[in-house]
């Protein structure tokens, strides 16, 4: 048997044996101890955690009579078992990577021995790995943080959608079970859930479109107007219009909520002064939606305006001068020069604003809290978006599985639209800006 094949087979049987066969004693001992430690932890815990990920527990909390007394005995906690199972699954994947690396290393060193090449010592191997794979070693720490702080919580939240983890089935008093796509079927088949989902989804999409269009058009128009040569005190106007962006959104939205209050808000008082009746800004479904759109324009237009200012300063003046020579007016120059250049530069940002508006939590929660209440909706109001409905289901009603279903739907909507629309923009297709 060739040396490379023999070393690979030995490492496949027991990690580290192939390295010892290749006379890399320290490396082989290190791999061997790593493999032994893995089997030890596999026997004394990881197997149980992986089994718990499948079963989610077998014994619920129960009352047990001890002598003349009855006391509560805690059972399996399904959610903790799911988390521990995910950690064990991650450990299994890491070991599989180590196992394959161990076999590959033994094979490569065995092939080098067959060619009678010098074999690196363990220290030389570490130095070689540090030189050749330095970038991967540096990225290992942030990658680990991403795995534990982003990927694992994301996988956990996705798995919840396939369980019955919702009030009244809450551990440790009750065991959670896997239900497959049952929650998705309920969301679409049960009238109370489907009508709520369709209504909130429709409003979410309308909100995302209107909020994006109004803030984008408003910001671009304001920037173009201030950028006109005839406008004086440009710095003053820019400073005044950036103030809403400088104030924390929470403060602005809470102040605006009081301003639009039906009973004591100054907006209705001013309407009364000019002979008009006050409007139900926060209690009527239509006017509540108008109110949150106006509030979003207040905090969103300055952001787009700043971006548009940056683009306008990069447009060559020669283009405008040539257009003026050809007899083009202000409207024609805006339509043929300014708008295409601004759209080209800000199209990806426009897409991200649309995606962000789908997940716009602060404006809705702080202005209306999803109200007014809709009696035909399940735990939701007329101005609730999918993300605020998700919040209410999870934190107020303990409907974690349904909240997870909504989270998956939001992710699919945002990811699909963002990727599809971004790939169709000129800024994606063209590497350099058209001059």
Query: For the chain, which ranges sit under pLDDT 70?
Result: 1-3, 66-68, 426-435
Percent of the chain with pLDDT over 70: 95
Predicted confidence at residue 12, as pLDDT, reads: 87
Sequence-distant (6+) residues with CB within 8 A of 268 are: 261, 262, 278, 279, 281
pLDDT score at 2: 67
My answer on whether 244 and 378 are in the same domain is yes
pLDDT computed for residue 430 by the predictor? 64
Q: Does 331 lie in the same domain as 191?
A: yes
On whether both 109 and 210 belong to a single domain, the answer is: no
Which distant-in-sequence residues (6+ apart) come within 8 Å of 18 by Cβ?
A: 6, 7, 8, 9, 10, 11, 12, 28, 102, 103, 105, 106, 107, 109, 110
CA 328-334-338 angle, to 5 degrees, is 120
Residue-level pLDDT at 20: 86
Same domain, yes or no, for 148 and 226? Answer: no
pLDDT at 8: 84
Tell me, yes or no, whether 176 lies in a domain.
no
CATH of the domain at 189: 1.10.3720.10
How many angstroms from the chain centroid is the CA of residue 266? 38
Boundaries of domain holding 25: 1-60+70-161
Q: What pLDDT score was predicted for residue 3?
A: 64
Q: Given this model, what pLDDT does residue 392 score?
A: 92
Q: Are residues 210 and 349 in the same domain?
A: yes
Residue 170 placed within a domain: no
* Residue 435: per-residue pLDDT: 45
Q: What is the pLDDT of residue 428?
A: 65
- The answer to whether residues 238 and 97 belong to one domain is no
Mean of all residue pLDDT scores within the chain: 85
Establish if 65 belongs to a structural domain: no
Nearest to 324 by CA among 311, 312, 337: 337
Instruction: Indicate whether 221 and 133 sit together in one domain.
Output: no
Number of structural domains found in the chain: 2
């Amino acid at each position: 048997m060739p040396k490379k094949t023999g070393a690979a087979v030995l490492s496949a049987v027991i990690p580290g044996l192939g390295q010892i066969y290749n006379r890399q004693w320290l490396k082989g001992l290190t791999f061997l101890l790593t493999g032994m430690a893995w089997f030890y932890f596999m026997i004394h815990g990881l197997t149980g955690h992986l089994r718990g990920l499948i079963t989610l527990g077998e014994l619920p909390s129960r009352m047990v009579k001890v002598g003349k007394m009855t006391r509560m005995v805690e059972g399996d906690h399904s959610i903790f078992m799911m988390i521990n199972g995910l950690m064990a699954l991650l450990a299994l994947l890491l070991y599989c990577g180590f196992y394959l690396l161990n076999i590959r290393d033994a094979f490569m060193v065995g092939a080098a021995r067959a060619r009678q090449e010098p074999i690196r010592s363990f220290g030389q191997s570490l130095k070689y790995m540090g030189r050749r794979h330095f970038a991967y070693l540096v990225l290992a720490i942030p990658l680990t943080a991403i795995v534990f702080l982003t990927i694992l919580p994301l996988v956990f939240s996705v798995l919840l959608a396939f369980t019955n983890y919702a009030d009244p089935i809450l551990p440790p008093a009750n065991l959670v079970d896997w239900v497959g796509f049952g929650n998705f079927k309920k969301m679409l088949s049960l009238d109370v859930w489907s009508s709520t989902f369709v209504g909130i989804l429709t409003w979410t999409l309308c909100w995302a479109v209107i909020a994006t269009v109004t803030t984008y058009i408003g910001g671009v128009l304001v920037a173009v107007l201030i950028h006109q040569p005839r406008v004086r005190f440009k710095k003053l106007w820019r400073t005044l219009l950036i103030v809403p962006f400088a104030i924390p959104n929470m403060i602005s939205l809470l102040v605006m909520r009081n301003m639009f209050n039906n009973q004591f808000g100054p907006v209705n008082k001013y309407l009364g002064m000019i002979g008009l009746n006050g409007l139900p800004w926060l209690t009527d479904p239509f006017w509540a939606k108008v109110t949150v759109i106006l509030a979003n324009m207040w905090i969103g237009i300055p952001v787009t305006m700043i971006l548009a200012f940056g683009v306008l300063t990069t447009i060559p003046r020669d283009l405008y001068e040539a257009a003026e020579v050809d007899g083009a007016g202000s409207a024609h120059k805006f339509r043929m020069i300014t708008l295409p250049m601004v759209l080209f530069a800000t199209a990806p940002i426009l897409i991200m604003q649309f995606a962000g508006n789908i997940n716009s939590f602060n404006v809705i929660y702080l202005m209306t809290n999803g109200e007014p209440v809709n009696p035909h909706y399940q735990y939701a109001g007329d101005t609730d978006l999918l993300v605020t409905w998700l919040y209410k289901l999870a934190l107020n009603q303990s409907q974690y599985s349904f909240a997870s279903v909504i989270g998956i739907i939001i992710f699919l909507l945002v990811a699909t639209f963002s990727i599809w629309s971004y790939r169709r923009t000129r800024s994606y297709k063209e590497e350099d800006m058209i001059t």
